[in-house]
Amino acid sequence: MLPLVDQEVPESLETNPFLAMVSRFDHAARLLDLDPDLHAFMRHPSREITVYVPVRMDDGHLKVFVGYRVQHNFARGPAKGGVRYSPAVTLDEVRALAAWMTWKCAVVNIPFGGAKGGIICDPTKMSKLELERLTRRYTAQLFEVIGPEQDVPAPDMNTDEQIMAWMMDTYSMHARHTVTAVVTGKPVGLGGSAGRQGATGRGLLFVAQEACTHLKIPSKGAKVIVQGAGNVGGMSALFMHQSGFRVVGLSDIHLGLYNDRGLDVPVILDYLKENRSLHGFPGVSEVTNEELLELPCDILLPAATENQVTSHNANRIHCSVLCEGANGPTTALADQMLEARGIFVIPDILANAGGVTVSYFEWVQDRMGYFWNERTVNQRLKQIMVNSFQEVLRYAQTHKVEMRTASYMLAIDRVAYDTKVRGIYA
């Protein structure tokens, strides 16, 4: 059995992502009066795989990396979720991220369960060839448990379309035929979908616009601060800038840039691409990541990693809307403090679901062998994100709960219904 936690996570365990997920799950399940058998079943992952991945490094020595794949739930379809390369990967983190994928797919009502993968490694210290060998061997070791009908990986932190292309190729070599639908987030032309790269950022724009309308905040000129300038942070900052929001703050892992009059986001992103750091960008103030989160704005959009808003800084956050681009950026203890201060939270499992939504479109297109243009992809994405936001908002109002609890309740309700109808093979 996995550790049981009370509704309240003690402060010493505040930053354990799995306990953060479980405490929210338990809270929502209690409000739903969830059947105890379903509660026990849905709370646990279906399968956890640890692989030890040998890689021949460029200097000739063999290094063994630790990798994980956690498949949380298959009730509504194949498991779906990214693969993360980072020295900070832990099994508890991958477990939490896998469960969040189950709830995320259910919130936006797409026919997937949840999974996540990770390898403990520092990709900034590895050559491209070493990364390719690591990716191929990890994929080969997971061959029996992934696949279009079983579990479909995608990019996450420090993984990209090149890594997805290597995963797809390795899987296809073992299967003896090309299987494009085994991963999503591939290059367009290799079975990737138009619009996938910007999908999470675009989805964040749509839900931020819906929140502004709901809260009567004029989006034109509304101040936005984005933490993280990778796929999610960079793209959401760009789309929000292009849509009339005023992006006043943006950071990478090292530092943040701030200008109350607004940042020229496209120029900053070009600078980042060229210099691989935001350091030295002219005409703006440099702040730390901690300071950036506490600067006043209308919308704060953390898009880097977990545990950025905690009980230690939640009372110093000055925004009207917290729009979660990253997975798990806010701890459960911080949730309560933000709610008491009236901050409107668009939770990760709703806010950043644009990525998995277009991954679903990619999987559908690969299986049909027929590809849509970017306009169609973006229209269908907008429809799903706006409908999902409105559905969660209605649920929150009906049940008199905040948006995170409403999202969990809606997702758990859907997974529980399908599990009950299928029956638990016990």
Residues forming contacts to ligand NAD in the complex (CB under 6 A) are 155-158, 200, 227-233, 251-253, 289, 303-305, 325-327, 352, 355
CA distance 114 to 214: 30
Residue closer to ligand NAD by CB (options 38, 232) is 232
Q: At closest approach, how far in Å is the CB of 206 from ligand NAD?
A: 14
| CB-based contacts of 49, cutoff 8 Å, min separation 6 | 68, 69, 70, 71, 142, 145
- Among candidate residues 120, 78, 70, the one with its CA nearest the CA of residue 100: 70
Q: Are 367 and 59 in contact (CB under 8 A)?
A: no
CB of 273 to ligand NAD, least distance (A): 12
Unique residue bearing structure tokens 């936006």: 108
Structure tokens at 49: 């795989």
Instruction: Compute the distance between CA of residue 213 and CA of residue 233 in angstroms, rounded to an integer.
Output: 22
CB of 287 to ligand NAD, least distance (A): 12
Q: Is 80 a catalytic residue?
A: no
Comparing CB distances to ligand NAD, the nearer of 251 and 365 is 251
- The residue of the chain with the least Cβ separation from ligand NAD equals 230
What one-character DSSP code corresponds to residue 147?
Answer: B
Q: In 83-180, which ranges are continuous DSSP H helix?
A: 91-107, 128-141, 161-175
Residue 306: closest CA among 203, 227, 223, 200 = 227
Q: Which is nearer to ligand NAD, 41 or 361 (CB)?
A: 361
CB-CB contact of 100 with 112 (8 Å): no
User: Which CB sits closer to ligand NAD, 253 or 364?
Assistant: 253
With tokens 């991945």, the residue in question is 53
Q: Which position among 63, 80, 104, 116 bears the catalytic label? A: 116
Least distance CB 155 / ligand NAD (angstroms) = 5
* Comparison of 272 and 401: residue with beta carbon closer to ligand NAD: 272
Residue 228 beta carbon to ligand NAD: minimum distance, rounded to whole angstroms:
3
As annotated, the active-site residues are 116
